[in-house]
A and B are shown apart, each in its own frame.
Chain A
Amino acid sequence: MTHTPAAPLAGRVRHARPRATRRGRGRPLLYLLPAAAVLVPLFGYPIYMLGLLSVFDYRQAQVSGGEPTRFIGLGNYATLFGDERFWSILLQTLVFAVALVVVTLAVGATLAVVLTRAGRWPRLLLSLAAMAAWAAPAMTGSTVWMFLFDADLGLVNQVLGLDGFNWFYDKWVAFGVIGATVVWHSFPLVMVTLYAGIQAIPHSVREAAWLDGASEWQSFWRIILPILRPLVTIVVIQSIIWDFKIFTQIYVMTNGGGIALQNSVLNVYAYQTAFGSSEYGLGSAIGVVMTLILLVITMFYIRALYRTGERL
């Protein structure tokens, strides 16, 4: 999946306040009608249904009509919170997401600074390469990295002289390879956004720092970063949301979550619980937990947006 670019940053927004004096009060609603006709049944209703399913005992027997659907209140949640596997998957989802965010930002920020220093051709080369990685579908990115790390025919094993080493056997080694694939897909967004941000800082500011004898390191941490703080916050939160929702890479590279779901994150766990084990109610409960966590992160995101002065 191509990393959705920082949504609110895209497009050139001139904040002209809409006027209240327009004639035809029903017109905006008329224009919103097609969007509502799509989003209410296909987006709003499924969210409601997800919550609803999570409080029912809904398994294969109920789907096929063999047994009546039973309301069990918070029963699914009780099962979930009592299950050690849920907690360990929740923990590894968080650890994996945090690691991904840190590495993506470190790589993206470093290369953004490199871009500002590099000459024309190296800059163009890196931009184009990053675009290619950004554009590559998550699916094909996963297949290529799988091939590179293949036990028998993979380039990595042959170069390192590891004969038949299986990179997807050990849980954390597999997470490492998946993580590398994800970072490869997602650092370009961070790099391009921060590079654009740095370019927007008036040259005189950086020059003044240089004249005052600030080192590269100092001027990055003391000048560039503080000025870009709102932008960095948005990129960080976007990365958290994105890395928390990783699905395709894990599903494809570990064939559905790995041996005994050892490499799954909440997203994959919810999907496998529902469609793999036909525990649709329980799977929905996991989905609700995930949605709530993302909602909290989104609150911070909206607050950060307001800070940058983006007027809604």
Chain B
Amino acid sequence: MKRARLAANTVAIVAAVVTFFPIYWMALSALKPAGEIQSLQVRPWTLAPTLEHFERVLGGENFARYLLNSLMVALAVVALSALVAFLAAVAVTRFTFRFRTTVLIMFLVAQMVPVEALTIPLFFLVRDIGTAVPGVGLNTLGSLVLVHLAFSLPFAIWMMRGFVAAVPEALEEAAMIDGASRPVVLWRILFPLVAPGLIATGVFSFITAWNDFIFARTFIISAKDNQTLPAALLVFFKPDENDWGGIMAASTLMTIPVLIFFVAVQRRLVAGLGGAVKD
């Protein structure tokens, strides 16, 4: 029994080191002076950490602007999807109506659709919408907000549904008996109670929008100012020689926000997974 424990500990630690290594290597390479990256004697540490890559990345090539763009798109998606998903989740958990199961199944099926293939019709759709409403046409951040909203909603609704269902209905009934109207019950009672769920759902919407590569690449063709992070990262790839210090610094900047958010919700996530199993 003791030997089994020792073996498990060893495997766990080795796996942890291997799994974390790429992240460590990314951050380390971002901090290494250019000379050490170019050197053929690689060392898994550095004695002369420098912020030169970060300075170069944030200073040039509009990177700070792209960072802000990514942030604005992601936050807009979070706010909108939380609101819309909350209402839809209330509809499918607190009421019965015809086609309710059909609607639910559709939210599920929507999560499986190959989003990448849909870029083809969406490209033309966004182009056409742009002629009517310039704010959400090609080359705008608005178009990115719209498509990310659409693609994060099915999952957000599915997730919110669990959180809404967990709130005892008796609370709402009591408020209604006390004479509160439905909108009051919805916004004053239910909404605050599912706040943790809204945060967890919001984080996933944030990550979906933040990590996007394909839509930014497809929709933002010529407007340099409206690029988002993934496209900005590609700037450091050069045909003759890649600027690895810059790439790693940019990658680190792109990874940190999601890492923080992810750690913030991971407890809820694991609890949710476990809870579903126990049911």
Q: Which residues of A contact B (CB under 8 A)?
A: 1-2, 4-16, 18-20, 22, 24-25, 27-29, 31-32, 34-35, 38-39, 41-43, 45-47, 49-50, 52-53, 111, 114-115, 117-119, 122-123, 125-126, 128-141, 143-145, 147-148, 150, 153, 155, 158-159, 184, 188, 192-193, 196-197, 199-200, 216, 231, 241, 245, 247-248, 251-252, 267-268, 270-271, 274-275, 280, 283-284, 286-288, 290-291, 294-295, 297-298, 301-302, 305, 309-310, 312
Q: Of the candidates B117, B149, B262, which one forms a contact with A270 in the assembled complex, judged by CB atoms under 8 Å apart? A: B117
Complex CA gap A155/B271 in Å reads 38
Q: Of the candidates A11, A111, A132, A312, which one forms a contact with B259 in the assembled complex, judged by CB atoms under 8 Å apart? A: A132
Shortest distance from the beta carbon of B28 to any chain A beta carbon, whole Å: 10
With A2-B211, A129-B19 as contacts: A122 and B12 at CB distance below 8 Å: yes
- Flag whether B122 is at the interface (Cβ < 8 A): yes
Q: Of the candidates A6, A14, A52, A290, which one forms a contact with B114 in the assembled complex, judged by CB atoms under 8 Å apart? A: A290
The A interface is mostly helix, strand or loop, or mixed, namely: helix
Q: Of the candidates A2, A13, A305, which one forms a contact with B258 in the assembled complex, judged by CB atoms under 8 Å apart? A: A2
Contact at A129–B17, with CB atoms within 8 Å?
Answer: yes
Contact at A10–B149, with CB atoms within 8 Å?
Answer: no
* CB-based nearest A residue for B255: A140
Complex interface: chain A residues within 8 A of B259 (CB): 132, 135-136
With A271-B116, A274-B120, A312-B105 as contacts: A13 and B165 at CB distance below 8 Å: yes
- Flag whether B177 is at the interface (Cβ < 8 A): no
- Flag whether B247 is at the interface (Cβ < 8 A): yes
- Flag whether B42 is at the interface (Cβ < 8 A): yes
Interface segment, B48-56, B58-66, B152-160? B152-160
Q: Of the candidates A10, A115, A123, A184, which one forms a contact with B162 in the assembled complex, judged by CB atoms under 8 Å apart? A: A10
Shortest distance from the beta carbon of A244 to any chain B beta carbon, whole Å: 8
Q: A38-B149, A158-B40 are in contact. List 12 more A-B contacts (CB 8 A).
A: A1-B213, A11-B197, A13-B279, A43-B150, A125-B16, A126-B12, A129-B16, A133-B19, A133-B20, A134-B262, A135-B262, A241-B112
Complex interface: chain A residues within 8 A of B117 (CB): 50, 267, 270-271, 284, 286-288, 290-291
Q: Of the candidates B16, B155, B163, B200, which one forms a contact with A126 in the assembled complex, judged by CB atoms under 8 Å apart? A: B16
Contact at B8–A129, with CB atoms within 8 Å?
Answer: no
Contact at B83–A137, with CB atoms within 8 Å?
Answer: no
Closest 3 CB pairs of A and B: A11-B162, A287-B117, A117-B8
Contact at B255–A122, with CB atoms within 8 Å?
Answer: no
Q: Of the candidates B12, B90, B105, B251, which one forms a contact with A118 in the assembled complex, judged by CB atoms under 8 Å apart? A: B12
With A1-B211, A301-B112 as contacts: A50 and B95 at CB distance below 8 Å: no
Complex interface: chain A residues within 8 A of B9 (CB): 118-119, 122
Contact at A25–B97, with CB atoms within 8 Å?
Answer: yes
- Flag whether B13 is at the interface (Cβ < 8 A): yes
Q: Of the candidates A35, A125, A267, which one forms a contact with B116 in the assembled complex, judged by CB atoms under 8 Å apart? A: A267
Shortest distance from the beta carbon of A184 to any chain B beta carbon, whole Å: 7
Complex interface: chain B residues within 8 A of A131 (CB): 262-263, 266
Complex interface: chain A residues within 8 A of B195 (CB): none
Contact with A along B194-226 (1 / 0, CB 8 A): 000100100010011011111000100000000
Shortest distance from the beta carbon of B14 to any chain A beta carbon, whole Å: 9
Complex interface: chain B residues within 8 A of A287 (CB): 114, 117-118, 120
Contact at B11–A114, with CB atoms within 8 Å?
Answer: yes
Contact at B124–A31, with CB atoms within 8 Å?
Answer: no
Complex interface: chain B residues within 8 A of A251 (CB): 213-214
Complex interface: chain A residues within 8 A of B122 (CB): 42, 46
Complex CA gap A301/B116 in Å reads 21
* CB-based nearest A residue for B87: A31
Complex interface: chain A residues within 8 A of B76 (CB): none
